[in-house]
Structure 1
Amino acid sequence: MKKIFAFVLLGCLISSCDEYLELPNPNRQTTENFWTTQESAQQGVTAIYSMFSKPGGMARWIYFDIDLRSDEGYSASPWVELANASKFIVINYDFVTFRSVWDDHYRAIYRANQVLQFVPEIQMDEQLKARLLGEAKFLRAFFYFNLVNLWGNVPQITVPNDVTTLVPYSTTEQNWALIEADLRDAIAVLPASYTGGDVGRPTKGAAYALLGKALLQQKKYQQALDAFEYLVEGDGKSLYGLMENYADNFTHTSENNIESVFEISFSDKIAGPPTEGEDFADHTLGNHRAQFFAPRGIGWSDGQCRRWVVDEFLKENTVDDTRDPRLATTCLFDYTDEGGPTETMVYGETFQKRFGDSQEVWFHKYQNDYWRSFENYHSPINYRVIRFSDVLLMYAELLNELNRTAEAYPYVDRVRERVGMAKLSDVKPGMSKADFLDQLKHERVVELAGESVRWNDLCRWDDLDSQAGIDAIELRDPDFANFVLGRDKLLPIPQTERDINVNLQQNPKW
């Protein structure tokens, strides 16, 4: 029976059955029949954005890889492997916080590559086409920016590749070059602002800001200053400023405000499964960070803030001799309310009642306690990737690096004065270049703690490149006792990726 079946099957394959089997299914979308209309071009770009809401996009795991691995945060999770990942104790190179970010970032890049390959051939409104291609370039640069900062020498893929394509890794320098080129292309076509339903897409200013960040990370100081110039003193100056209320930068009621240079949109409209892996039509569009970083009894409490961050705020009072108001927004701890544990409210109950005399600290930014008494996987708060205050502080850092320290003071003063702090030019005039950088390190903590910038700051300042630097960090964060010089600045390339692609080379010492 098996022989007869084989004979019939063979005959079918070499005769008319072959023609029948190759008939296209008219109901199946392919690259040939999908990328044909203006609507499909728009849908293709929307598909890139949808990767932000995936666990490995910007919804969950990247905060573990960036915030918690820095000296600002740590994990005391009962999931030992999760806690160890931020302690630089890694056995499984495919652990979910690494592998998921790698996979979802490359899926986003694949989608951007599809847009960049197929949309140019579509007959459609040329101005809209140029903008959509600019958005795809910006988004590809954004995802590569994260990959390069986390892994360094990663595969550079610029066309829609298939599973048989084994792309070797590119050097960090080659990947930075692609990021720069994509952002310069985006700058040329993206609008300065949007209206209506398009608000939230990357603007010309967002592309300039991300370019500035990429150049600063490479210590290309003058080029980075030139990029930030657009937002700070150039044509885009009127579009950006500082919110009067610092806390408005972290709520769902004041999104896409004048301080937001680029933010990622999240929503609680769809409360589907917060799944790993493939796409689901009803997967959650919310940010999972709040659920994982909320205090125990409310969320998972898998990510917490170091106590030294609190102490940093207490080094200086406002001109009215009150506490820096940014502390209560940044940290949830026993004295978030200056009245202490019995006055500090934690999701409807006092800190004292929930945690007793605990000295624990949680990140307060992006938590939903200002409007509800619970957390879940559906936080609607948009994540501000780049704020204008960050740009101002980076601009000051660049001026200082270019030996223009005196010119840098006003940009730090703008950030300080917003929250009632004295002008730096009044309290610490005439600082040396080295002293000014030390002061900037303080300013960036009290302004930006918990906003996923600290790891890159430590890398840029070379604090992770010497044992003396690591020893100094260890005084603030004991997890750095496990940090191996020359290894832990980068994550390990996922092992299953290397099993599939023999052309990939593992990062040093892993």
Structure 2
Amino acid sequence: MKKLIYITIIFLMSSCSNEFLDLYPETSLNESNFYKSDEEFISLVNGSYIPLRNLNKTVMWDVSEVKSDNMDLQPSNTNIEQSRNENFLMSSSSIVHKSLWDNAYKGIYNCNKTLNAIEGSDYTWNNEFLKDRSLGEVYFLRALYYFELGRQFGGVPLVLTEINSQDAVNIKRSPIQDVYQQVVSDLTLAIDHLSKANDVHENGRASLTAAQGLLGRVYLTQKDFSKAESILNTVIKSGKHGLLSNYADVFNPSKKDYYETLFSVQFSESAAELANNFIFFNAPYTSKGEVTGRPNVAIQVNIAIKPTQNLINSFNENDLRFTTSIGKWTGSDEKGGTADYFYCAKYKGPQTAILGWSGDNFPILRYSDILLMYAEVLNELNRTGEAINYVKMVRDRAGLTENLVGLSKVDLGLLIEKERRLEFCFENHRWFDLVRTGRALEVMKALGKDIKQEQLLAPIPGDQVLINNLEQNPGY
């Protein structure tokens, strides 16, 4: 029988606890159980978060940072998939894009299952605010999964209910406009529910401002600047978030920031399924344990990546973000000599676990992103003078205090692009920023990349084209 890949997954769930991270492990629950308490429904909600971990452990790096002008492959890297992605030689057999597709649809499947269970149940919640929080979280997550799919592949199949395998093969790709319309609809519902649930919010979960901020990003992507201006201004005026005085604190896993960070993927050193291994494929491949602090854990040399020299050169010597973002290690090279190696240092927090498990949360939406998106929107609306103030907030924190008064709309637009690159390097924004602003071809060709217009979209995985008769994107 023909089946979409996301129809055949094993549903993953979590057990109950007072801490969100403990509610978020990859453990299973017998699906024959009926949900008879607030806690059981909340556990069902937690399963909708799980695929975000797999998406952001390696996949999103490959399709955003490695593809962009931010990262190169280290000399030890023998990963053919990463090399093809970096050099725009992707095909429908790409394992990276198949993984993205599969994990996103696993998340969507979990969301649909959860919505069906909550909205189709006659159970009376002991705390109705928890019900609103749960519904808001799931609508937010489904929107996020579809937004990532849309930005990568364009139009994709819209699956909004629990369906069987026979129904799945009849669902074809919807136009990208319909995908974004559904994302907006889900985020609107998320905002409605989460606005009633502020008193029961828990750090690490989707929040009202996270839903509003993501909606602003969606509107910006659609170039609906007026709507983006309105919703992003709502986040700014809420007073719930601000910039930390020290940029490095955003990425310190011992502090777990929830003030500047509106939403992040949660990781923990406490167990393998909860941890990330970012530092182990970012550390210089000859550094052994000198960078990672774990000499007993091998660096993943076959997928090792590094910052581009172009990115390194883009930082002003006074930029306080540089040492947090990019580390330098001097040591043995592959020929027995000595060399300087630069690496992504944002996810190099203190590690206490015996094994190679890291607990750095991965930021999806930060307040500095809200400020720079808002500045971009104001500039597009010909309110350049106002926009400068929001760019200045981000630059001041970075120690860059030059006077920006008098910049033209074009010049400010390019400065915002640069500030976003430096502020969010290694946070999986760069490629999407270049595509959104129409600058991807120009920037990548200037670096010698042989990129074509149709390669701004990724190939639909070949198994989906073959088994489900989905239309392939042009050029693949």
| Deviation for aligned residue 1:358 | 4.0
Partner secondary structure for residue 61 of structure 1: helix
Partner secondary structure for residue 113 of structure 2: helix
Is the contact made by 2:265 and 2:361 (CA closer than 8 Å) also made in structure 1?
yes
Q: 1:105 — aligned with what?
A: 104
| Deviation for aligned residue 1:247 | 0.7
TM-score normalized with structure 1 length:
0.79
Q: 1:60 — aligned with what?
A: 58
- Listed as ranges, the matches of 1:198-237 within 5 Å are 198-232=202-236, 234=237, 236=238
Separation of aligned partners in 2, 1:150 and 1:415: 28
Letter paired with 1:332:
G
| Deviation for aligned residue 1:353 | 4.6
Partner secondary structure for residue 386 of structure 1: strand
Structure 2: tracts of 5 or more residues without a match? 1-28, 289-298
Is the contact made by 1:294 and 1:375 (CA closer than 8 Å) also made in structure 2?
no
Summarize the Cα distance change of 1:194–1:303 in structure 2 as closer, same or farther, 3 Å threshold: farther
Count of aligned pairs between the two proteins: 426
Letter paired with 1:223:
K
| Deviation for aligned residue 1:255 | 1.2
Say whether residues 1:367 and 2:338 are aligned partners. no
Summarize the Cα distance change of 1:59–1:352 in structure 2 as closer, same or farther, 3 Å threshold: closer
Letter paired with 1:228:
L
Flag the structure with larger Rg.
1
Please, which of 418, 428, 438 is the counterpart of residue 442 of structure 1?
Answer: 418
Is the contact made by 1:396 and 1:412 (CA closer than 8 Å) also made in structure 2?
yes
Partner secondary structure for residue 488 of structure 1: helix
Is the contact made by 1:120 and 1:129 (CA closer than 8 Å) also made in structure 2?
no
Separation of aligned partners in 2, 1:168 and 1:137: 22
Separation of aligned partners in 2, 1:197 and 1:83: 42
Summarize the Cα distance change of 1:192–1:119 in structure 2 as closer, same or farther, 3 Å threshold: closer
Separation of aligned partners in 2, 1:330 and 1:489: 27
Say whether residues 1:184 and 2:188 are aligned partners. yes
| Deviation for aligned residue 1:153 | 1.1
Say whether residues 1:269 and 2:270 are aligned partners. yes
Q: 1:71 — aligned with what?
A: 69
Deviations 1:272-295 (A, max 9, x none): xxxxxxxxxxxx111233322222
- Listed as ranges, the matches of 1:57-456 within 5 Å are 57-76=55-74, 77-91=77-91, 93-122=92-121, 123-125=123-125, 126-164=128-166, 165-166=168-169, 167-191=171-195, 198-232=202-236, 234=237, 236=238, 238-271=239-272, 284-297=273-286, 298=288, 299-301=299-301, 302-314=304-316, 317=317, 323-333=318-328, 346=329, 351-353=330-332, 358=339, 360-368=341-349, 371-372=350-351, 378-423=357-402, 426=403, 428-456=404-432
Separation of aligned partners in 2, 1:330 and 1:29: 43
| Deviation for aligned residue 1:179 | 0.5
Partner secondary structure for residue 364 of structure 2: strand
Say whether residues 1:474 and 2:469 are aligned partners. no
Deviations 1:130-170 (A, max 9, x none): 22111100000111111111111111110112222211001
Is the contact made by 2:72 and 2:306 (CA closer than 8 Å) also made in structure 1?
yes
Separation of aligned partners in 1, 2:82 and 2:345: 21
Summarize the Cα distance change of 1:361–1:222 in structure 2 as closer, same or farther, 3 Å threshold: same
Which protein has greater RCO, CA pairs closer than 8 Å, 6+ apart?
2
Say whether residues 1:509 and 2:458 are aligned partners. no
Is the contact made by 2:195 and 2:208 (CA closer than 8 Å) also made in structure 1?
yes
Say whether residues 1:492 and 2:459 are aligned partners. yes
Partner secondary structure for residue 74 of structure 1: strand
Separation of aligned partners in 1, 2:319 and 2:31: 57
Q: 1:339 — aligned with what?
A: none
| Deviation for aligned residue 1:196 | 8.9
Separation of aligned partners in 2, 1:245 and 1:113: 40
Separation of aligned partners in 1, 2:355 and 2:372: 33
Separation of aligned partners in 1, 2:63 and 2:437: 19
Letter paired with 1:60:
T
Separation of aligned partners in 2, 1:491 and 1:103: 14
| Deviation for aligned residue 1:206 | 0.2
Q: 1:280 — aligned with what?
A: none
| Deviation for aligned residue 1:384 | 1.1
Separation of aligned partners in 2, 1:197 and 1:429: 40
Separation of aligned partners in 2, 1:96 and 1:373: 33
Separation of aligned partners in 1, 2:411 and 2:282: 34
Deviating more after overlay: 177-186 vs 301-310: 301-310
Partner secondary structure for residue 262 of structure 2: strand
Separation of aligned partners in 2, 1:400 and 1:138: 28
Is the contact made by 2:158 and 2:174 (CA closer than 8 Å) also made in structure 1?
yes
Structure 1: tracts of 5 or more residues without a match? 1-27, 272-283, 318-322, 334-345
Is the contact made by 2:194 and 2:207 (CA closer than 8 Å) also made in structure 1?
yes
Separation of aligned partners in 1, 2:366 and 2:431: 17
Deviations 1:362-397 (A, max 9, x none): 2221133xx259997522111111110111011111
TM-score normalized with structure 2 length:
0.84
Is the contact made by 1:263 and 1:383 (CA closer than 8 Å) also made in structure 2?
yes
Partner secondary structure for residue 332 of structure 1: strand
Tell me the percent identity. 29
Is the contact made by 1:192 and 1:205 (CA closer than 8 Å) also made in structure 2?
no
Is the contact made by 2:270 and 2:353 (CA closer than 8 Å) also made in structure 1?
no
Separation of aligned partners in 2, 1:394 and 1:267: 30
| Deviation for aligned residue 1:30 | 4.5
| Deviation for aligned residue 1:354 | 6.0
Letter paired with 2:207:
T
| Deviation for aligned residue 1:224 | 0.7
